[in-house]
Amino acid sequence: MRTHLALALVLLSPAALAWQCEQCSVTSAGVPAVSASFVGATDDSGTWVVFSSAANNLIPGDTLDLSDVFLRDRNAGTTTVLSISTGGQLGNANSNAPSISGNGQLVCFVSVASNLVTGDTNARNDVFVRNLSTGQLQLASRAGFGAPGSDHSFQPRLSPDATKLVFVSKSSNFVAGDTNGFDDVFVRTLATGAMVRASVATGDVQSNGNSSNPSLSADGNFVVFTSAATNLVATDSNGLTDVFVHDLTTGVTTLVSSPPAGGVSNGEADHGFLSADARFVVFSSRGTNLSTGVPNTSFYHPYLHDRLLNTTVRLDFTATGAYANKHGTALGVSIDGRHAWFRSAANQVAAGDVNNFEDVFVRDVQLGVTTKLTKGYNGAPIQVGTDAAVLSSNGAYVVVETRSPNMVPTDYNNVGDVFLIPAEGPNATLYVDQDGDGYGDPSSWSSGAPGAPGLVTLGGDCDDADPATNPGAADPCDGRDRDCDGTTDEGCITYYCTTSTTTHGCHPLMFVGGYASATAQSPFHLAAFDVEGARAGLFFYGLAPAAGVWAPGSTSTKCVQSPIQRMGAIQSGGTNGQCDGLLLYDMNAYLQSHPGALGAPFPAGARLYAQAWFRDPSAPKGTNLSDAVEILLGP
């Protein structure tokens, strides 16, 4: 059976999670990391926190002195490593920059390690996605399920609903026509592997400059990013970095870091974040003409832009109404645009802030009140400033990186640590929970303090009339998306058996996508990736599992009991001698067009067992096999 990680997602009600600072870069026994740790993110429940660290004491047996990606389960009190191979090997090079989806299902990170998946031969930083429910690890910075990126990929973030991944890369092999030679923003639909480039002008015209720092809206349909390109909109004439929003549905790109009255900003802009519905954008800018009365400054300051009303306001005011005089960085905005989070080194933006360090703040834009969130455990100012901070997608928590020793009373390691703090409870985004399953309808929200009857901090419920349907539910074989992740019936699929080692060191693995049914019209794709390139192959299925020897001396195992049904011959594509081949076949279409196939007609609940076969001339029997998948057919 395939290795799994720690897979039951235990979700607590908001009241069950204490509203206090908690150190997360610790061992399962609560011992602080012996080396610096760096921020990642938290899910919307605040249960899971991901971070990176080169500390060798966070898990047993870590002797490589490399940066790894870790998952802290606040409910269980455990710390586990995520940057490991399917066989449990630690990455053989640095891994960092983790992020987690709002529903806690997926974690993405960057790694230059070559041993996390087979076929990773590009010697570049790649983006990986770990499924916390199945333990499956995918190399996501690749075209479909083919070759990895031709250049480095970095700055990954997941959409809160775990359906899409956004990242930056200079790779030219992700989409057709990518010839600009610049860092571009790409969005991958995780269920299908489809990739689009988002850092383009309306009409899909590629940019003439580097783009960076992307983030997604809650549904993954809008992307905000920074770019130095001058051709993304016709009016961009300042020659500076600006912040843009790209609509993946319409293909329209708009400039948001510009004066509402028209023209362009007279200062650089960076680090944009969208509200859940993409109406509001917060960003940082040196511009002084984005709102009225802003004094000349060489510092970045946080701004809030309303895309509907075309208004922009600065966020870092002092208690007397003056503008703050030190740099600030935007972190996020609530769905209603009322509350915005930012970091600032100014000590006048909230009462009692006298430490002259960079703290995290939340501003109630409607009331004009700013609250400091980073405080010592005894209420005193922190003794060292924050180095980074990341807001949860629902605005309930902030993950903070700091070397301050007084965040908690047990921080004695004198290095940078990762902490989780509440994003000030009264300012959390709350969702109406009609079916009482702990998840709310993302279209019915308000802003206030957690704990009110019928309101929860977790959104993402795609059917708020059914308590069995929510982001924390199991997804059985009933033809419905029970866990609201955009795919259907993951519970129908079980991977089993062991894969082979091919002539060129490939380890082909099965993967499926879609809804398995003998009657459904929608596709159900069998896929085998990391196959030998440029080889003929096919998929076959049977009615029972097996574990037999494929051929004397072969590393392959025949995982399907005879009799078997061979499906159509296909080509793997890719390059001869490389592990970049992909076999892909629509099993639903085959069963519908072959009524006399083995076992047909199939009733709902029937089980099929499938495996990939492909040519490998130098291997015993001249062929090799993948691992296998058990498929429970739905109605």
Tell me the β-bridge partners of 445: 431
Residue 564 counted as domain residue: yes
Q: What is the per-residue pLDDT across 348-394, written as a single tens digit (0 to 9) for each?
A: 888 777 888 999 999 989 888 898 999 888 888 899 999 999 999 98
Contact between 65 and 56 (Cβ < 8 Å): yes
CA distances from 173 to 5, 169, 209, 571 (A): 32, 10, 18, 20
Q: 222-227 and 211-216 as β-strands: parallel, antiparallel, unpaired?
A: antiparallel
In a domain, 614, yes or no: yes
**Cα separations in angstroms, 109 against 96, 138, 191, 494:** 6, 11, 18, 25
Phi, psi of 591 (to 5 degrees): -65, -35
Cβ atoms of 323 and 300 within 8 Å: the answer is no
CA 147, CA 122: separation in Å to the nearest integer?
Answer: 9
453: its two tokens: 């009857």
Judge whether 461 and 437 are in contact, CB under 8 Å: yes
- In which element (H, E) is residue 593 found? helix 587-593
Residue 616 belongs to domain spanning: 490-632
Cβ atoms of 144 and 154 closer than 8 Å: no
Who's near 259: CB < 8 A, 6+ residues apart?
265, 287, 289, 290, 312
Domain count, the chain: 1
Which is it for strands 195-197 and 339-344: parallel, antiparallel or unpaired? unpaired
Asked if residue 546 belongs to a domain, the reply is: yes
- How many other CB atoms are there within 10 angstroms of residue 228's CB atom? 18
Give pLDDT tens digits for 109-153: 999 999 999 889 899 999 999 999 889 999 999 987 788 999 999
Q: Please, what's the b/e burial string for 417-445 (b: 16 or more CB within 10 A of its CB; e: otherwise)?
A: bbbbbbbbeebbbbbbbbbebbbbbbeeb
pLDDT at 607: 92
Distance (Å, rounded) from C-alpha 51 to C-alpha 79?
A: 10
**Tokens representing 232?**
């993304």
Q: What is the DSSP letter of 223?
A: E
* Structural tokens at position 233: 């909109």
Query: Residue holding tokens 């966020």?
Result: 315
Q: Which helix (H) or strand (E) holds 40?
A: strand 37-42
- Please give the Cα distance from 271 to 215 (Å, whole number): 9
Q: Which residue has tokens 């072969």?
A: 554
Q: Phi and psi (nearest 5°) for 492?
A: -80, -10
Six token digits for residue 474: 């199991």
Residues 6+ positions from 582 with CB-CB distance below 8 Å: 144, 145, 146, 527, 528, 529, 531, 572, 573, 574
Distances in Å between the Cα of 82 and the Cα atoms of 5, 90, 564 are: 8, 9, 37
Q: How far apart are CA 466 and CA 137, in angstroms?
A: 31
Q: What is the helix (H) or strand (E) element at residue 242, kind and residue range?
A: strand 242-247
CATH number of 566's domain: 2.60.40.10
Task: Give the Cα separation of 55 and 63 in Å (integer).
Answer: 10
Do 58 and 70 meet the contact criterion of CB atoms below 8 Å apart? yes
What is the SS3 assignment for 340?
strand
Q: Residue 413: beta bridge partners?
A: none
Computed over its alpha carbons, how large is the radius of gyration of the chain? 25
Compute the distance between CA of residue 557 and CA of residue 508 in angstroms, rounded to an integer.
12
pLDDT, residue 9, reads 25
β-pair partners for 386: 402
79 falls within a domain: no
Contact 324, 336 (CB under 8 A): no
Three-class secondary structure of residue 490 per DSSP? helix
Alpha-carbon distance of 487 to 492, in angstroms, equals 12
Residue 218 belongs to some domain of the structure: no
In a domain, residue 621? The reply is yes
Q: Please name which of 118, 195, 216 lies closest in space to residue 153, comparing C-alpha atoms.
A: 195
Domain contains 583: yes
Those residues of the chain that have pLDDT short of 50 are 1-19, 425-427
Is 389 a member of any domain? Answer: no
Task: Report cis status (omega within 30 of 0) of the bond before 601.
Answer: yes
pLDDT digits (tens, 9 = 90+) for 427-448: 456 778 899 888 888 777 665 5
The whole-angstrom separation of Cα 285 and Cα 316 is 12
Residue 438 tokens, joined: 């702990």
Integer Cα distance of 38 and 411 in angstroms: 15
